[in-house]
């Protein structure tokens, strides 16, 4: 299993078993898991995404094809607690472009955690998956996210109503 490790975090892909358990057997998963699963997690966006993820994973297993999306868990390693997730919306296109979104529990976590998680994931993506461009979005009023994207080196490329589209290109590309 792939593990992306930082000083404080472990970022791992969500397995088919965990995804199914989140939908069908959450209480049992919470009892048996060595990792704490907070009641606020997953977010409504991820809950809506999980059925598609399960279907894609099952199809991938049957057809032995690459998964066209990614759902990753962000775990605060010392506390053994899920604190958020990353979604890779589709596999990298021919041009090496992929769209990401993330959620981290901002109420109980300092802002450096989000930077650490996204930075490590971007490093892994650009090295392991030959990704050349990463796109992320946020709402205009999310000043903390805008500050984070700027710190990570993203450039705002487009404003569409209340949404901003950000991108970062692999160094040297």
Residue 105 φ then ψ, to 5°: -65, 100
Tell me the average pLDDT across 4-11.
95
pLDDT at 120: 96
Close Cβ partners of 22 (under 8 Å, ≥ 6 residues apart): 29, 42, 50
CA 89 to chain centre: 9
* 122-139 confidence digits (pLDDT tens): 999 888 767 889 999 999
Across the chain, what does the average pLDDT equal? 88
> Which CATH number goes with the domain that contains 163?
3.40.630.30
Domain limits for position 82: 4-169
Give the span between the Cα atoms of 170 and 173, in whole angstroms.
Answer: 6
**pTM for the whole thing?**
0.88
Provide the pLDDT confidence category of residue 162 given band limits of 50, 70 and 90: very high
Q: Which two tokens stand for residue 80?
A: 């053994």
Number of domains in the chain: 1
* 42-93 confidence digits (pLDDT tens): 888 888 889 988 988 888 777 655 554 689 999 999 999 999 999 988 777 7
CB 69 within 8 A of CB 56: yes
């Amino acid at each position: 299993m792939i593990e992306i490790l930082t000083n404080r975090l472990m970022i791992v892909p969500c397995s088919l078993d965990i995804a199914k358990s989140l939908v069908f057997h959450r209480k049992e998963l919470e009892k048996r898991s060595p990792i704490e699963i907070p009641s606020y997690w997953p977010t409504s966006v991820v809950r809506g995404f999980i059925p598609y993820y399960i279907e894609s994973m099952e199809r991938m297993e049957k057809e032995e094809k690459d998964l066209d999306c990614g759902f990753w868990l962000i775990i605060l390693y010392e506390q053994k607690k899920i604190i958020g997730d990353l979604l890779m919306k589709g596999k990298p296109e021919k041009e090496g472009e992929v769209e990401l979104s993330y959620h981290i529990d901002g109420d109980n976590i300092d802002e450096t955690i989000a930077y650490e998680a996204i930075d490590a994931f971007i490093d892994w993506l650009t090295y392991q998956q030959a990704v050349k461009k990463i796109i992320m979005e946020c709402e205009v009023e999310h000043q903390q996210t805008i500050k984070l994207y700027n710190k990570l080196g993203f450039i705002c490329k487009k404003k569409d109503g209340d949404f901003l589209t950000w991108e970062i290109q692999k160094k040297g590309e």
